[in-house]
A and B are shown apart, each in its own frame.
Chain A
Amino acid sequence: NAGVTQTPKFQVLKTGQSMTLQCAQDMNHEYMSWYRQDPGMGLRLIHYSVGAGITDQGEVPNGYNVSRSTTEDFPLRLLSAAPSQTSVYFCASRRDLVDYGYTFGSGTRLTVV
């Protein structure tokens, strides 16, 4: 089925560990973004990409890296996990600037202990 696929759905990390959250879309969308959702905070933008090879920082980029080597994939790397990164992470994509909506993945729930 077409859409945005995020893996894993759940993850527990120890403080200081690193990991990569995977995001893939099969809709040939140019624009992809990573958001984190925390209680009472809504969704905050971490990083985004306007196409393969192009990424930029969002509102809360510290502690995260991204790369976009293909149109389909936009992984989010946690360099050294901290308890403050406990959150639900959503990846989203849209076709282009005139596409009227983002398609969201189902999320990755990350706990850092």
Chain B
Amino acid sequence: GEDVEQSLFLSVREGDSSVINCTYTDSSSTYLYWYKQEPGAGLQLLTYIFSNMDMKQDQRLTVLLNKKDKHLSLRIADTQTGDSAIYFCAESMGYSTLTFGKGTMLLVSP
């Protein structure tokens, strides 16, 4: 079955880079997503990567995909206190639903 695993917590200092990791089990996943959830809010799509890509860069965000190891990472450059949130990795096989990881809480200290 589908399963998405993430580390639960990451703490960094402002200005450092943050790397949040995710592993997934379903090799037929077509899209992989990163969502951000701030306290008391819904989920906001940060970025996505199609399964035939290795890397995607979008301003301060870099997504790396290793299909062989089924490993996805999100790198946030120059992390700011406003980046403190929970980050969810999710996979989709192109159907109507997503499977989410349990989320990584990122804490950015000044």
Contacts and interface: CB of A to CB of B under 8 A. Distances in A.
Contacts of A4: 42
Contacts of B8: 40
A101 B45 contact: yes
B8 to A, nearest CB: 8
Interface in A21-58: 31, 33, 35, 40-45, 48-50, 58
A100 B96 contact: no
Contacts of B95: 97
Given A33-B97, A101-B33, A102-B98, A42 B42 contact: no
B103 A42 contact: yes
Interface in B88-102: 88, 94-102
Interface string A96-113: 010011111111000000
Contacts of A33: 96-98
B42 A48 contact: no
Interface in B11-37: 31, 33, 35
Nearest to A98: B94
B44 interface: yes
Given A58-B97, A97-B94, A101-B48, A40 B42 contact: no
A53 B102 CA distance: 31
A31 B100 contact: no
A92 B96 CA distance: 10
B43 interface: yes
Contacts of A42: 4, 88, 100-103
Nearest 9 A/B pairs, CB to CB: A42-B102, A104-B42, A101-B45, A31-B96, A43-B100, A104-B43, A106-B42, A42-B100, A50-B96
Given A94-B96, A101-B48, A106-B41, 9 more contacts: A4-B42, A33-B98, A40-B8, A42-B101, A43-B100, A45-B99, A48-B96, A97-B96, A100-B45
